[in-house]
Amino acid sequence: MSKLFTLQGKLQNYAWGGSTYIPNLLGIESNSEKYAEYWLGAHVKAPSVLSTPDGKQPLDVYLNANLSKSLGVDIAEKFGRLPFLFKVLDVNDMLSIQVHPSKLEAEKGFSIENEKGIALNAPHRNYKDDNHKPEIMVALSEFWLLHGFLAENLLTQRLKNTPEFVGLLSVFEEEGFLGLYKCVMEQSVAESNQLLRPLIDRILPLYQEGKLHKTSPDYWAAKAVDMAVDTTVLDKGIYSIYFFNIVKATKGEAIFQDAGIPHAYLEGQNMELMANSDNVLRGGLTPKHVDVTELLKHMNFEETIPSIILGALQKDGLERIYKCPVPDFELSQITLSMADLYKSKAKSAQILIIIEGEVVIVEGNTTLVLDKGEAAFLMAESEYQITTPSSATIYKATVPCS
Ligand SMILES: [Zn+2]
């Protein structure tokens, strides 16, 4: 029986997406839509489609019928489903500031909201499921994001250098990260507008004249306002742009978002691998529900020194593994030139996507020729090899086996 199949992902057209990157990758015609995400996984809302010898099947349906064989007995028992979702993202307009709960907090929050009888699709529902949502992303281009609070000395400097925020300096000095964040997030609309309006009036013209750089919070704050539909109420997420690290990841560099780390994707393309969950607590740059009390409970109020993950090149010199401290997933990058032969034995299920070039994958009696943008699903215990007629870059998602 074959253990290697082609896999067709699902497009997600969100307003923040770009117009060309994903259509170019997939080789499809771009219309006027925004192409934000391309999902590879078994999420029930948008399962990928597996091409089996018996015809096409949604991946979730196939896995439900073949879970142990697909994931391996141990992983199937541990998770009861494919534990990860793999995505290509093209971020044109910045995403909301967010924090994800820990596994334990998600279990608690989910059961409390269930007991309260809050409908799963209610706009003010915080916990959509009982799972955590750690995420790792590796940049496919120059990628910009917000990640954790600035170091104490840098935040002090930032407040001093932003004339409109000088008054917040004493709040930070006396009450620290939590006190500062709580102070601005609990402001009334009138109070925050009063503080933010002069700032925006000062920086928006500079942004529009192209005088700001992406390393400056002014650039992103102005961009947020420039793209907002309604600017009568200024989004309190603007404060976070000044409080958090602005990180630039270059192609091939990765960064991990653990529970409690506030973050926001600002611009660029990436491969993202995450646990199967929709638990997002938002902190602004969004028209969606912001529950400040709940947000404060889950955010890490301490300085974060951003850790760029370069990945560990394996002995074969071809595969680079980006290790994460979670049991749900493992991300790696495989780069091949013409003479290279990549060999692997899959302990659990794997999803591969070809980002550049063309490859030939051989598993037992099955051979697949995959072009840029195409993907494959491999079952546990498959033994396979990959070659390329020119050069190729592949990203691989799997479950780490200890
Ligand atoms: Zn996130």
Q: In what order do the strands lie in the sheet with 359-363?
A: 342-345, 383-387, 359-363, 366-370
Distance 257 CA to ligand 1 centre (A): 7
Distance 99 CA to ligand 1 centre (A): 6
Distance 98 CA to ligand 1 centre (A): 6
Whether 271 contacts 393, CB under 8 Å: no
What are the start-end ranges of the E strands in 83-233? 84-91, 98-99, 135-139, 143-149
Segments in the chain below pLDDT 50: none
Distance 324 CA to ligand 1 centre (A): 15
**CA 362, CA 369: separation in Å to the nearest integer?**
9
Distance 264 CA to ligand 1 centre (A): 7
Distance 160 CA to ligand 1 centre (A): 29
Whether 203 contacts 224, CB under 8 Å: no
pLDDT reported for residue 402: 65
Distance 209 CA to ligand 1 centre (A): 31
Q: From the centroid of its chain, how far is CA 205? A: 31
pLDDT reported for residue 230: 84
**CA 55, CA 8: separation in Å to the nearest integer?**
13
Six token digits for residue 238: 């603007």
Q: Which residue among the candidates 125, 158, 197, 282 is catalytic per the annotation?
A: 282
pLDDT reported for residue 31: 86
Could you confirm whether 282 is annotated as catalytic?
yes
Six token digits for residue 293: 């009390």
Give whole-number Cα distances, 180 to 165, 183, 184, 220, 228, in Å: 11, 5, 7, 20, 25
pLDDT reported for residue 358: 97
Six token digits for residue 256: 């991990």
pLDDT in tens, 162-183: 999 999 999 999 999 999 999 9
**CA 172, CA 177: separation in Å to the nearest integer?**
6
Distance 258 CA to ligand 1 centre (A): 9
Helices and strands per DSSP (H, E), number in the chain: 11, 23
pLDDT reported for residue 229: 83
Six token digits for residue 50: 């597996």
Six token digits for residue 374: 């195409």
Distance 389 CA to ligand 1 centre (A): 37
Six token digits for residue 92: 């044109």
- Write the DSSP string, 98-130: EE---HHHHHHHHHHHHHTT--TT-TT---SSS
Distance 148 CA to ligand 1 centre (A): 12
Grouping H, G, I as helix, E, B as strand and the rest as coil, residue 91 is: strand
Q: From the centroid of its chain, how far is CA 106? A: 18
Whether 140 contacts 269, CB under 8 Å: yes
